[in-house]
Amino acid sequence: MEYYELHPEDPQLRYINKAVDVLKNGGIVIYPTDTVYGMGCDIYNKRSLERLFRIKNDSREKLFSFICSGFKEISKYAKISDFAYKRMKHLLPGPYTFILPTTRLVPKQLWSKRKRVGIRIPDNNVALKLVEELGNPIVSTSATNRKGEILYDPFEIKNIFNSQVDLMLASGILAGNPSSVIDLSEDVPEILRRGAGDIALFV
């Protein structure tokens, strides 16, 4: 695994570009978000998606989220109602995952049975710059150990995934909670997980 320490506010572009090259060539990258470390790949690379499923040992029915650069990009991959847009606009970028109906641009490997996707715009410059330079979303799942426990220390993450992941962008220990997950696929919001971020708009 290639390993690089990045400044959280002003990440070094040369390391971002190394990660982009890895993603474009079917690799798996670990990167910081505004909550925990994410592990992801290019949504359009089938081989890297298969690798990610194997690394995480997750069911294909589990909903993975996408890291997006902004609302313009979200609108390509998810259908946003006026109700959803008003609330998301108020909270993003931020520590939230919003569940929305998918569009046909999303690879079917990533559709849930209900044809929904999880969308994130994290308040983290490393993650956002990575997506912007790649030019399309990254499939994202939390970096966890075999017990499913979230890992916060980049050195521990490196030791565990050193032979499975191609590159890691580190920004120190992340002590945040996972994102709050809110289903906005209907006009009645449903809180699926209470995590980081204020959810008063949906209570």
Is the pLDDT assigned to residue 110 strictly greater than 80? no
What is the CB neighbour count within 10 angstroms for residue 16?
21
Mean of the per-residue pLDDT values of the chain? 89
Give the domain ranges of the chain. Answer: 2-202
Q: Mean pLDDT: which of 125-129, 145-149, 174-178 is highest?
A: 125-129
Residues 143-171 have a mean pLDDT of: 92
**Fold of the domain spanning 2-202:** DHBP synthase (3.90.870)
Task: Give the span between the Cα atoms of 119 and 98, in whole angstroms.
Answer: 5
User: Of 99, 106, 104, which is closest to residue 43 (Cα–Cα)?
Assistant: 106
Q: Is the pLDDT reported for residue 54 higher than 90?
A: no
* pLDDT given at position 46: 85
Spatial separation of the C-alpha atoms in residues 145 and 157, rounded to whole Å: 8
DSSP annotation string for 69-111 = SSHHHHHHHB---HHHHHHHHHH-SSSEEEEEEB-TTS-GGG-
pLDDT of 61 > 60? The answer is no
pTM here is 0.91
For the segment 113-117, the average pLDDT, to the nearest whole number, is: 78
Contact of 137 with 66, CB cutoff 8 Å: yes
Give the model's confidence band at 39: pLDDT under 50 very low, under 70 low, under 90 confident, else very high: very high
Residue with tokens 């919003």: 98
Count of alpha carbons within 13 angstroms of residue 173, beta-carbon side: 3
